[in-house]
Amino acid sequence: MHYIIGVQYISGFKLHLQFEDAGWRVADLESHLDGEIFEPLRDVSRFGTACLNTDVDTVVWDNGADMSPDFLYETSVPLDEPKLMKVAEEQVRYEADSE
């Protein structure tokens, strides 16, 4: 069984989640926001209220919604996964406008 020790809102419907093993994972929850309790989280400003509840060791939102840490672990990817690192390492060439 997993539990969460850190939560950081990224943008959109993505969260950085730190699990008990101290590893960080990225969860994109957009496709998991169905049902009466989760539908209101489709509003990005409400989704951004995600925070850690240490009583239940998982993510909770201001409307009372929460998700199982095991579900969050299974649907997230390690922060150091190659495709995430590739995006972070890519360099975009910037060309200044010339007049």
CATH (domain of 51):
3.30.2020.10
Residue-wise pLDDT for 47-87, tens only, equals 999 999 999 999 999 999 999 999 999 999 998 755 544 54
Enter the tokens of residue 41. Answer: 């989280």
Domain for residue 94, yes or no?
no
Domain for residue 97, yes or no?
no
Classify 35 in phi/psi space as left (phi over 0), alpha (psi -120 to 50) or beta.
left
Closest CA to 40 of 9, 11, 13: 13
**pTM, full prediction:** 0.77
Domain for residue 98, yes or no?
no
- Domain boundaries, position 17: 4-89
- Specify the number of domains making up the chain: 1
